Amino acid sequence: MTTTAAFGWASSYLTTTPAGEVNLDPAERLAVQQTLARYAFALDHGDLVALEGILTEDSTWTASIAGAVEQGPFVGRAAVVDLVREATAAQADQRRHNLVNTVFQHAEADTAVVCAYLMLTSNAGGSPAVIATGFYTVTLRHAEGDWRIAKVFVGLDNAL
């Protein structure tokens, strides 16, 4: 697949956060960011048990490649875990989901919407390389005493 993104394609998905919309104390903000990091580690290590513990039962996962090719939504924790299981079973390389420039779009005591850029790297061929860039928009809910991912939207700038 040769779909690649044009400049600004993701602007309809990403917005800046106006002052005052993030009503979480610093410890809760850190807990949200740790959940995102745990999600990336679970993907990178194929740790499906950890992934299950991070997702809500009704979680959804959707992707768009440059706004042209849609995947999903995959609905429910089991469907998301199955998607990751199938994707990682086909991988022969070690991938790393590097989430950077994390921005809270909205947050209050029990929900948060966070955006982060994605730089997906791989060691295929023996040399590290960036294989995709894009962004995540993640909706989290405070459930069962922890922050859990309820909705994932991945916008990829290029096909893998």
Each residue of 50-65: pLDDT tens digit? 999 999 999 999 999 8
Give mean pLDDT, residues 121-150: 92
Count of residues making up the chain = 160
Contact 76, 14 (CB under 8 A): no
Please state, in angstroms and as integers, the Cα–Cα distance from residue 79 to each residue in 83, 91, 123, following that order: 6, 19, 28
Q: pTM of the full predicted structure? A: 0.89
Residue 22 corresponds to which amino acid?
V
Share of the chain above pLDDT 90, in %: 60
* Residue with the larger pLDDT of the pair 123 and 50: 50
For residue 73, is the peptide bond before it cis, meaning its omega torsion is within 30 degrees of 0? yes
Of residues 112 and 159, more confidence is placed in 112
